[in-house]
Amino acid sequence: MFWFAGFMSKARQHSWPRFVACALAFLFYCAVLLSASAETNLARVLAEVPIKTTHGDLLVQTRVNGSEPLSFKLDTGFGITVINPNRVDGLNLEKAGEMTIIGIAGKEKADVYRGATFEFGNLKYEARRVAALPSEARRRWRNRDGILGAGFFRKYVVELDVPKHRMRLFAPDQFVYNGAGDMISISFKKDTPIVDATIVAPGNGPISGRFEIDTGCDDCVCLGHEFVSANHLVDEDAGTETRHGVGGSADIKSGHLAELRLGKQTIKQPTANFFLDGSPAGEGQAGHIGLGVLERYRVILDYSRLQMILEASE
């Protein structure tokens, strides 16, 4: 402001047209600054690629070791990147043993490979290891070729804008957030981001808990059996369903919560799955918050700074 006052004083010594031109130039300069500050961040975008939701899966196309385009699910709830076993041949992967993956209802063994490089435009992501999960090959429909898990989300700051069908990737050491979004602290017990949140069940008061953030779940909230039982959340009149996943299946009852409170956000009447046995989340967690909630926002997952940012998608 002091600079502009001095500018106005000097302008009196010159012709009015010249003053108007200079003033317009100054206002244009201010508009550029304001426009820049309104961006999510000023760091260089490493990659910007389309995403889509199909059968509840949030999918992105990528090439693996120069393959044809393949569809991979973006799943913050998965501890390792997974490839459909039917896709392993021809990708020039190196066998590196096997591992056991724990799912919602049990365990499943999978072969492990090294040497997988994923391409997103000009950006290449080299996964430390990938697993060929047998259940991926037993799916009733083939709408995905694998799952991008925790290693991918640790490598980059990942912006998921489901309403605009867009994913943007940033280098963590260059990312600076300038927006007005809701910044929510996350922590890790293993590989999945965990947040503090509060649910309100119909006819009950607020109940706080620790919830995993799981973009691999197409529902809003899934609650583990221990949490459901301890807080008497099951509606006895609701019908029983079966939810399938890694390691088998689990019986659930579907319903709604009155509210989910996440950071400064209050989501009214979110759908909920109440597990009658097992849990969709790790030990000690109430459950997880899925894509049914997250797809309403532009979500920025910044594991390096232990934060998740929720913005209204314009």
Residue 202 has pLDDT above 70, yes or no: yes
Name the residue range of residue 167's domain: 47-174
**Most confidently predicted of 6-20, 99-113, 291-305:** 291-305
For residue 230, the model assigns a pLDDT of 93
Judge whether 13 lies within some domain: no
Judge whether 162 lies within some domain: yes
Residues 6+ apart with CB under 8 A from 140: none
Judge whether 22 lies within some domain: no
Instruction: Tell me: do 196 and 301 sit in the same domain.
Output: yes
How many domains in the chain? Answer: 2
Token pair of 234 as six digits: 């099951």
State CA 123 to chain mean position distance.
Answer: 19
Question: How far is Cα 132 from Cα 111, in angstroms, rounded to an integer?
Answer: 5
Instruction: Tell me: do 68 and 87 sit in the same domain.
Output: yes
Asked if 115 and 125 touch (Cβ cutoff 8 Å), the reply is: no
- pTM, two decimals, is 0.82
pLDDT digits (tens, 9 = 90+) for 12-71: 444 445 544 444 444 444 443 344 333 555 578 999 999 999 988 999 999 999 999 999
Judge whether 41 lies within some domain: no
Judge whether 25 lies within some domain: no
Last residue of a domain, one of 127, 144, 174: 174
Judge whether 1 lies within some domain: no
Q: Which long-range CB contacts under 8 A does 284-287 form with residues at least 24 apart? A: 284/189, 284/210, 285/189, 285/194, 285/209, 285/210, 285/211, 285/212, 285/224, 286/199, 286/209, 286/210, 286/211, 286/223, 286/224, 286/227, 287/209, 287/211, 287/212, 287/221, 287/222, 287/223, 287/224, 287/227
pLDDT digits (tens, 9 = 90+) for 264-286: 999 999 999 999 888 888 888 99
Instruction: Tell me: do 135 and 170 sit in the same domain.
Output: yes
Judge whether 31 lies within some domain: no
Instruction: Tell me: do 187 and 153 sit in the same domain.
Output: no
Instruction: Tell me: do 84 and 141 sit in the same domain.
Output: yes
pLDDT digits (tens, 9 = 90+) for 85-97: 999 998 999 999 9
Last residue of a domain, one of 174, 194, 215: 174
Q: Domain with 73 in it: what CATH number?
A: 2.40.70.10
Asked if 273 and 246 touch (Cβ cutoff 8 Å), the reply is: no
Average pLDDT in the chain: 84
